Amino acid sequence: MSQHLPVLIVVVPLLLAPLAALVGNWKAAWIVAAAASWWAFGVSIALVRRVLAEGTISYEIGGWAAPYGIEYRIDLVSAFVAMIVATIGAVAIIYARTSVRAEVSEDRGALFYSAFILCFTGLLGISVTGDVFNIFVFLEVSSLSAYALIAMGQDRRALTAAYQYLIMGSVGATFIVIGIGLMYSMTGTLNIADLAERLPAVADNRTIPVAFTFLTVGITLKLALFPLHLWLPNAYTYAPSAVTAFIASTATKVAVYLLLRFFFTVFGAEFSFEQMQLDKVLMPLALVAIVTMSLVAIYQDNVKRLLAYSSVAQIGYMVLGISFASVLGVTAGILHLFNHALMKGALFMAMGCVMYRVGSVRLERMKGLGKKMPWTMAAFVGGGLSLIGVPFTVGFVSKWYLVQAALERGMWPVAAVVMFGSLLAVIYVWKVVEVAYFQEADPDDDIREAPLGLLIPTWALVIASFYFGIDATTTADIATRAAEVLLGVGP
Amino acid sequence: MTPGVLIATAMLLPVAGAFALLFWDKKPNVREAVTLITGAATFWHVYQLLPLVRSGLRPRLDLFEVLPGVQLAFEVEPLGMVFALVASFLWPITSLYAIGYMRGHHEENQTRFFFFFAVAIAGALGVAFSANLFTLFAFYEVLTLCTFPLVTHHQTEEAKKAGRIYLGILLTTSIGFQLLAIIWTWVLAGTVDFTDGGILAGTASAGVLSAILVLYVFGVGKAAVMPFHRWLPAAMVAPTPVSALLHAVAVVKAGVFTVLKVAVYVFGIDLLATLSATPWLAWVAATTIILGSLVAMTKDNLKARLAYSTISQLSYIVLGAMLANEWGIIGGGMHIAMHAFGKITLFFAAGAVMVAAHERNISQMHGLGRRMPITFGAFFIGALSIIGLPPAGGSWSKWFLGMGTLEAGQVGLLAVLMVSSLLGLYYLLEVPVKAFFFKPPADAHHAEGIHEAPMPMVIAMVVTATATLGLFLYPDLVFELMAMVIPGGAQ
């Protein structure tokens, strides 16, 4: 069976999704979803190990040879991103059991888990497939289910948030499919490896730069790069807590993966960065995102929204790394994909714990929580330290590489902006800390610590964000090798 | 025990002690006994390293790779030995003092207080023993973060504001400048290990290296070089034992220690002497010396006056480093020890007055000397050392610093040292003079019942005052260790 793992990581959850909807009862649906997530988690680890040992895996669906059939092609980048999605999914599903029960009405439980699996499957599918049209299909699978998941938030504003995301997301997806169509019209192929081979011959034709532009806009919309991030804050704020934690750690990450895949593998770094000068677009936008979005985060009163703006800023870090188009820079970007997934997952989960007990994540409701929910707030501080980039946290590792990449290019002002962003993070993290630890709680409410069903997954991510900050050699090694694969250098 | 185990034990003991005392939260006597025993044991372990270092060895402990090529590693060299000895010797004494103070002052949350205190000592030892810039930076930040709960111990609005300044300045400088300098060093030199003779020579132009030096000096906010000194007076809202050990010894000395370490082992004094930024920074330090003293003169609050005095004195050490010759380094290194004993005595006395007479302002201390002769006697000795007069230890470090200025051909700097001593004479001796020779004001509300502070505090003061005198008679050990730091040794 093991040679079929590349496809089974997608097919098994895909088949389980309708099952979850059919069983009707939310408890049974949860078991199905948990099985799907943990299955994918196990397979993703196996795939990473296999890619590390044997190199890129190519799998032909139904035995149809590429480029005629659909090829699943898993190199180190794909495997790594799939692993991030699967890991977060596996943790989030445990968290969801308690959290969703409190936030989503019981009769929708089964549908929720069904949509959750679909979203998860779509994201995994994007990362493992080697076919651009297939990417589009999975993108739609994950996006449509994400809209549904967000709309299930308690707050009625979740509906408008989901609608906003739907419109923006669909525009993005349309741009992407137009880009893909234009490429197809010039090359007659949809297979990534094939495209990469044929594109240079037709690159002089105006159609290809147009396709490139459509893809750039579409993908940056999906990954919420400033100024195309407008859908994100509302979506993250009003979605159910478990959904926010999952989507914030995976959906934009997979969009970053798309950026890497299209601009490095399909078009090639030389075309993207030398001919089209993509870095001239990405770098300034990333820098503006880091500074302005961190500033906006400082002024938020709703902590989930604060974290959402912080996410837009953090996406700036990833894109900044990629825009250097150097091994160090891309390494920094890929590392931050993983690192940010851990820390933001932990932070949103901590906010889910607050939501569970307090019923709101507005700052004024969080007074004195440091005493009342010590473990939850400690988790928040842990994740916050990572966001700041304190040593021994994953955030530090990302910054170490990112600054190095900037200095390697002699761009010390860029390095200074990265540091400046960290300092802004200090402010918005500390804003929450001060309310939770320095303000007296209302003596009337009897708020207790969150249940273990929420604390354990939260702390799992917090501990991971310290573990991979203390021993970053494994992740840094994988990220460096992935960057070398993308840039076509090294072994 | 092998040297590596000694190093590890010395750093882990305070942490273990910290967790042990959480167990005896409800039994203050047992809890305090744990603190004292841990303190004594920690010092004993550090002391075991001394013969090894004196014989010219550099005990080393390599833990593991954090980032590819960057290790978490410890190496005890003579300068670190001096710092570690001072910090670990003064910790049990301060604990003794703190027991009297915290109980006498009826402080709350004492367990939390002693917990973070112990962790801070572990952080200081980590800084002292660090074998490379990464390890140093990591423990430097540990020290920043775990002293935050100590500074904001009272959790009042004032404490919160002070905490903001404290964390704001220390993190801004360390992440904004110091980390940038460290990564820049890594990019240029390909290593961050502390190496005899430095690692930066010949890696970049003098202009770039000067820029990095400036980043280091201002990036080490704990050295409190103006204009990044505001955090230190802010930190005075903490209970006095914190001000005494952490903000006169462990934290601030970690700062100047870092400056010395960078000067000697990253730049190397030969390279340092050639950079154009070096004399400029020496004058920044000189300015801080004078301005710090001048501000100190204006303060009526005793702890605030001592804080500005510390700012002034710390820059002696920075100045020593920036003289870039052997006498400057030796004088600076010796001043770490000399100032520590003198200043901690002064803070002990200030705290004793607060506990016994509930006075904070110097103008209210008239006549108190007759009621608290030991306290003000100890203050007098501490003041002599800070001013640099015999028979106190401070005279030696000032002597060598003076020699350093002459060797550097900077007579102007020598004048600064002299003027600052004169100012010190005024603002420090004013306190015992007023206490002993002035009549208490007619409306004095201090009742007849004022007498010396609780016994543990008195013992602690007597020990540090005696040690201050002892260091005048026997400065050999510190001198010998510092001479080992200089390449080729000093004559």
pLDDT of residue A385: 92
Domain chopping of chain A, boundaries: 277-491
ipTM: 0.85
* Burial class for B75, CB neighbours closer than 10 Å (0-12, 13-18, 19+): buried
Residues B118 and B52 in one domain: yes
Set of chain B residues whose Cβ sits within 8 Å of the Cβ of A428:
none
**Chosen domain end from B234, B269, B304:** B269
Residue B241's pLDDT band, with cuts at 50, 70 and 90, is confident
Residues B86 and B211 in one domain: yes
Could you write out the DSSP letters of every residue in B405-419? Answer: HHHTT-HHHHHHHHH
Looking at the complex, does the CB of residue A295 fall below 8 Å from at least one CB of chain B?
no
Looking at the complex, does the CB of residue B487 fall below 8 Å from at least one CB of chain A?
no
User: Do you find a cis peptide bond into A284, omega within 30 degrees of 0?
Assistant: no
Looking at the complex, does the CB of residue A404 fall below 8 Å from at least one CB of chain B?
yes
Residues B35 and B123 in one domain: yes
Residues B326 and B405 in one domain: yes
Nearest Cα residue in chain B from A409: B187
Set of chain B residues whose Cβ sits within 8 Å of the Cβ of A466:
none
- How far, in Å, CA of B395 to CA of A121, rounded? 73
Residue B432's pLDDT band, with cuts at 50, 70 and 90, is confident
Set of chain B residues whose Cβ sits within 8 Å of the Cβ of A423:
171-172, 175-176
Tokens 């200030």 sit at which residue?
B350
Looking at the complex, does the CB of residue B414 fall below 8 Å from at least one CB of chain A?
no
Of B142, B163, B176, the CB nearest to A419: B176
| Phi/psi of residue B440, nearest 5 degrees | -60, 145
**Chosen domain end from B247, B269, B291:** B269
Tokens 């929720």 sit at which residue?
A112
Q: In a mutagenesis test of the A interface, which of B133, B146, B171 is the best target, namely the one with the most A β-carbons within 10 Å?
A: B171
Q: How far is CA B481 from CA B81, B404, B476, in A?
A: 8, 17, 8
Of B64, B142, B184, the CB nearest to A407: B184
Mean pLDDT of B483-491: 66
Residues B371 and B452 in one domain: yes
Reported in sequence order, the residue ranges of B154-229 that DSSP labels E, i.e. its strands, are none
Q: How many domains does chain B have?
A: 2
| pLDDT per position as a tens digit, A246-290 | 998 998 899 999 999 999 988 888 888 888 888 888 999 999 999
Could you write out the DSSP letters of every residue in A425-477? Answer: HHHHHHHHHHHHHHSPPPTT----PPPHHHHHHHHHHHHHHHHHHH--HHHHH
- How far, in Å, CA of B331 to CA of B479, rounded? 9
% pLDDT > 90, chain A:
47
Nearest Cα neighbor of B427 from B307, B293, B312 is B293
| pLDDT per position as a tens digit, B353-381 | 888 877 788 888 888 878 888 888 888 88
**Chosen domain end from B269, B297, B324:** B269
* Burial class for B175, CB neighbours closer than 10 Å (0-12, 13-18, 19+): buried
Q: Are strands A57-60 and A71-74 parallel, antiparallel or unpaired?
A: antiparallel
Q: In a mutagenesis test of the B interface, which of A367, A398, A400, A418 is the best target, namely the one with the most B β-carbons within 10 Å?
A: A400
Please give the structure tokens belonging to residue B379. Answer: 């203050």
- How far, in Å, CA of A290 to CA of A311, rounded? 9
% pLDDT > 90, chain B:
20
Looking at the complex, does the CB of residue A2 fall below 8 Å from at least one CB of chain B?
no
Residues B263 and B313 in one domain: no
Set of chain A residues whose Cβ sits within 8 Å of the Cβ of B141:
390-391
- How far, in Å, CA of B201 to CA of B210, rounded? 12
Set of chain A residues whose Cβ sits within 8 Å of the Cβ of B168:
426
- How far, in Å, CA of B318 to CA of B312, rounded? 10
Say yes or no for a CB contact (<8 Å) between A397 and B67.
yes
- How far, in Å, CA of B14 to CA of A216, rounded? 54
Q: Where in the sequence is the domain holding B215, given as residue range(s)?
A: 1-269
* Side-chain half-sphere exposure of B318, counting CA atoms within 13 A: 36
Residue A163's pLDDT band, with cuts at 50, 70 and 90, is very high
Looking at the complex, does the CB of residue A477 fall below 8 Å from at least one CB of chain B?
yes
| pLDDT per position as a tens digit, A321-352 | 999 989 999 999 999 999 999 999 999 999 99
| pLDDT per position as a tens digit, A32-86 | 999 999 999 999 999 999 988 888 888 888 778 777 788 888 888 999 999 999 9
Residues B235 and B309 in one domain: no
Nearest Cα neighbor of A73 from A85, A57, A62 is A57
Residues B255 and B386 in one domain: no
Please give the structure tokens belonging to residue B386. Answer: 């800070």
SS3 category, A189: coil
Residues B325 and B372 in one domain: yes
A&B contacts, CB < 8 Å? 76
| Intra-chain end-to-end CA distance of chain B, in Å | 34
Instruction: Judge whether B221 and B255 are in contact, CB under 8 Å.
Output: yes
pLDDT of residue B490: 44
- How far, in Å, CA of A15 to CA of A13, rounded? 5
Q: Is pLDDT at B491 greater than 50 in this prediction? A: no
Q: How far is CA B120 from CA B14, B43, B252, B333, in A?
A: 9, 15, 12, 21
Q: What is the CA radius of gyration of chain B?
A: 21
| pLDDT per position as a tens digit, A100-152 | 888 888 888 888 899 999 999 999 999 999 888 999 999 999 999 999 999 98
- Return the amino acid letter for B414: L
Say yes or no for a CB contact (<8 Å) between B65 and A388.
no
Residues B258 and B292 in one domain: no
Tokens 């994918």 sit at which residue?
A40
Looking at the complex, does the CB of residue B379 fall below 8 Å from at least one CB of chain A?
no
Q: Is pLDDT at A6 greater than 50 in this prediction? A: yes
| Phi/psi of residue B138, nearest 5 degrees | -60, -50
Q: In sequence order, what are the beta bridge partners of B284?
A: none
Residues B352 and B265 in one domain: no
- Of residues A106 and A468, more confidence is placed in A468
Residues B158 and B60 in one domain: yes
* Side-chain half-sphere exposure of B252, counting CA atoms within 13 A: 37
Instruction: Judge whether B471 and B396 are in contact, CB under 8 Å.
Output: yes
Instruction: Judge whether B475 and B396 are in contact, CB under 8 Å.
Output: yes
10 Å Cβ neighbour count for B195? 16
